[in-house]
Amino acid sequence: MERRHSLMDSPLGPLTLVATDGALSGVYMTDHRHMPPRETFGARSAEPFPQAVAQLDAYFRGELREFDLPLHLEGTGFQRLVWKQLTLIPYGETRSYGQLAAALGRPGASRAVGLANGKNPVSIVVPCHRVVGSTGGLTGYGGGLANKQRLLTLESGHVEAPPGALF
């Protein structure tokens, strides 16, 4: 497997994009909670995956609601099921961990769904930020709760934000 990575600027700060054999395998924010060791990202490249950069830029401009990128996701079978379920959450909507567990036919697996959600290697593209607590409140996010709120605000269409906010 050939891995390469690059950095791109975003309203959330720099994003590290990782490509494995030409497919997007990582999107990591600065200080991402579950980021693999950087030495596993492969050589740095000016732009190993231009489609990902273009689609992420369009997303941040509010012009893209669904990503169409080849993905290379490494995880357990259960993690991949959860990540697939995340892609079914429509832009601008949220689901609770319990709702995701029920959709997977495992209503008692909310905690396992939360753990799998937290290990999502392609944040934003596989929209783990759209998962909230059972009362609708923000819960953990690998890129930080402030970034989760920024992404949800972007998707809600409410771009007014307090001074200093990114959107």
Active site residues: 128
Number of residues assigned to the chain: 167
Residue 71 — φ and ψ, nearest 5°? -120, 145
Query: Which contacts (CB < 8 Å, 24+ apart) does range 94-102 have?
Result: 94/130, 94/131, 94/132, 94/136, 94/152, 95/130, 95/131, 95/132, 96/131, 96/132, 96/133, 96/134, 96/136, 97/131, 97/133, 97/134, 97/139, 98/134, 100/131
8 A C-beta contact, residue 142 and residue 33? yes
